[in-house]
Structure 1
C-alpha cells in the first residue's frame, strides 16, 4: 500500500500543477461577486464523517458560498493523493495516514479536527471484534492471529498492536489483512479472519449479529485520542486562503452541531450508509470537538515510529493547523 501511495503521489504532484484550484468556474469565485465554490471532499463512509453531511443539510456550507460534494474512499491513505492532485479540495483522514504522507514529503496540512475517541473502554466507536464463539478473549490472544484492517500499516494495525502490548502480548506478532470495512462482517463470520478492527457503523452491526468486542483500541492508544482531521494541500491553502477559512468555519460549526445533536447524527447516517434505523439508534457515537488533542496525536506519532510505518520523523508543528 505504501508503494502504491508513493507512486500515485508522484503522479499527483505533477498533476497538481494543473489541477489545484476549486472545482468552480472561477478559482476565486468565493471572493468575487458572491460566486459559489463547488468543493469536493474525499471522505470514508463511516460514522466519523456524519458532521459534514449534517452540516451540508443544515446549510452551514451554503451560507459560506460553498456547494459541497462528498466522494467516498476506502481510507485516508487513498484520499491523500486525491487532495494533492486536486481531485478533492479537502479530505478526511486519520492522523497516521497524514503523518505517513508528510514523511514522504507530500505537501498537505490539517485545517480542522475530524473526530475523537469517547475515551471510554467498551463504549467507543472503534474496536477489535470477534465471533461469539471465538477463543479470543483479550487483546493478548490476538498474537499470531489474522486481523482485518481497512488499510495496512496504518492507524488500525498500530493501535491494535498497542492494545496487544497493553494486554501483555507481543504486538509485533499479529497478522493483518486489508479489506474495506463493509466486507469485514462476512469475512469474520466465514472464518477468513480471526478478528476485525472496525469502526461504526460496522462495529454495532457485528455486535448485533453476536460479535464480541475484545479491545477498545483508540482508548488504549491515548486518552481522548483525536483520531482524524480534515486537510488540504499546501498549494490550496496558499492559493485560496479565503476558501480554506470558509470551509474550516463551516466544518467547525458542523462538528459543534453534531456533538450537541446526536439524534440528528443518527438520522444523517442513513443518507450515506446502508445502516437501518434500528441499528442506527444503537450506534456508539464518537466525540466531535473542534480542538485537536495534540498530545494524543504525538502518541500516534510515537506508535507509528515504534511500529516502523514512517519513513522519517513526522513534523507535527508543520502538519497541525
Structure 2
C-alpha cells in the first residue's frame, strides 16, 4: 500500500512539473516589430519562416510601417521595440532627438553588386547617365534621408536645384507612376526597380550610387539601412533582446550562405511578385559585431554626409549607436 501511495505521489509530482515546463515553453516572449516590406527586411521574414525566432522562444508582433519616419515615430513613442529596417540617417537623427532610441544590431550594405537604391528612367526617355536627367520630372523614395540623398547624388552629377523637379512618392506607387508616365525617372528602391524592368516600363541608369557618389568609392559599403532596436528594449528585457539578435544573426548567416533559397521569402512577404523574385539583388547583410574598422568608417562617412545635408543635425560618433551582440 505504501509503495502504491509513493508511486501515485511521484506520478502526480511528475505531471505537475511537466505541465509547468510545458506552460513555460509555450509562453513565448512577444516583441513588437515594425516592418517596412522591402527586400531590406528579408532577415525578418527568413527568421520568421525558418523558425529562428521560435527557436529563441520569441514571438514577433509585426506592424507594417511604410518608411523611416513612421518607424522612428513608433520607436520614440514605444509602440515598437525593433525596426526590421530603418534608414540609417533617419535612425541617427532619431538618436539626437532621443539618445539611444535606435541601436543598430545589423546593417545592410549597398554597392553596385548589392543593389537597393538606384536611379531609373522610363523607357523611351533619352538618358544614358544621371547627368542626363536635367530638365526632367523625377520621383523619390519617401523620407528626408532618401530625398536629400537623391538630391546629393544629382548634385555630384552636376545637377542643382532648379535643374529638375523631384517629388517624394510612396513606394507602393512607384511602378504605377512610371507605367502611367507621370515621371521621367527617379530614385527608387528594390524590388521596385526590378519590377519596372520586368514590366518593360523602365531601366536602371545606375545602382550603387551611394557608394560611388557619397562615399567616393564604388567598393565602399553603403550602410544606408539596417535593423535597429531601442535602448529601452535592451535595458528592460536584456535577455529577450539578446535572443532576438541571435535569431536575426542566424537569418543573416542563412541568407549569406543560401541566397537563392532565401529569395523565395520575398514573394509573399514583400511587394515582390513571384516572377520578379529571382531578379532582386541580395544586400550585404552584416551583423554589427562582424563589421570591420573599414566598414565602420564607411558608416561614419555616410553619417557625416547626413550632417552636411541637414538630415542629421549634428556630427555623431556612429560607434555609440552600434550594438554588438
TM-score normalised to structure 2 length = 0.80
1:111-163 CA-partner distances (Å, limit 9, x unpaired) = 4113211x226x62321111111133321233454332232321x23332343
Q: Which among 47, 51, 57 is matched to residue 65 of structure 1?
A: 57
Judge which range, 291-300 or 139-148, deviates more.
Answer: 139-148
Taking the aligned partners of 1:102 and 1:256, their CA distance within structure 2 comes to 28
Aligned twin of 1:320? 322
User: Using the alignment, how far apart are the partners of 1:42 and 1:87 within structure 2?
Assistant: 9
Contact residue 254 and residue 262 of structure 2 kept, 8 A: no
Query: Which of 189, 213, 231 in structure 1 is aligned with 2:228?
Result: 231
RMSD: 2.3
**Total equivalences in the alignment:** 287
**Is residue 2:309 matched to residue 1:304?**
no
Look up the SS of the partner of 2:160 in the other structure. Answer: coil
1:198 matched to 2:201? The reply is no
Structure 1 residues 1-321: aligned runs within 5 Å = 33-34=24-25, 35-91=27-83, 92-105=85-98, 107-117=100-110, 119-120=111-112, 124-154=115-145, 156-170=146-160, 175-210=165-200, 211-216=202-207, 217-220=209-212, 221-222=214-215, 223-290=220-287, 291-292=290-291, 293-321=295-323
Q: Any gaps of 5 or more consecutive residues in structure 1?
A: 1-31
Which secondary structure does the structure 2 equivalent of 1:61 belong to?
helix
- SS of equivalent residue, structure 2 residue 234: helix
SS at match of 1:68: strand
Distance 1:114 1:271 in 2: 23
Is the alpha carbon distance of 1:249 and 1:173 closer, same or farther for their aligned partners in structure 2, counting shifts above 3 Å? farther
Worse-matched range after superposition: 101-110 or 62-71? 101-110
Would the alpha carbon gap of residues 115 and 68 (structure 1) be closer, same or farther in structure 2, given more than 3 Å must change? Answer: same
Separation of aligned partners in 1, 2:314 and 2:283: 31
- Using the size of structure 1 for normalisation, the TM-score is 0.81
What CA distance in whole angstroms lies between the structure 2 residues aligned with 1:179 and 1:306?
Answer: 24
**Rg bigger for which structure?**
2
Q: Which moved more, 1:261-270 or 1:209-218?
A: 209-218
Contact kept? 1:84, 1:107, Cα under 8 Å: no
Change (3 A) 1:266 1:171: farther
1 CA distance for matches of 2:163 and 2:235? Answer: 43
Q: Which moved more, 1:167-176 or 1:59-68?
A: 167-176
For the residues of structure 1 that align with 2:303 and 2:271, how far apart are their CA atoms?
Answer: 33
Q: Note the C-alpha offset of 1:75.
A: 0.8
Unaligned 5+ runs, structure 2: 1-22
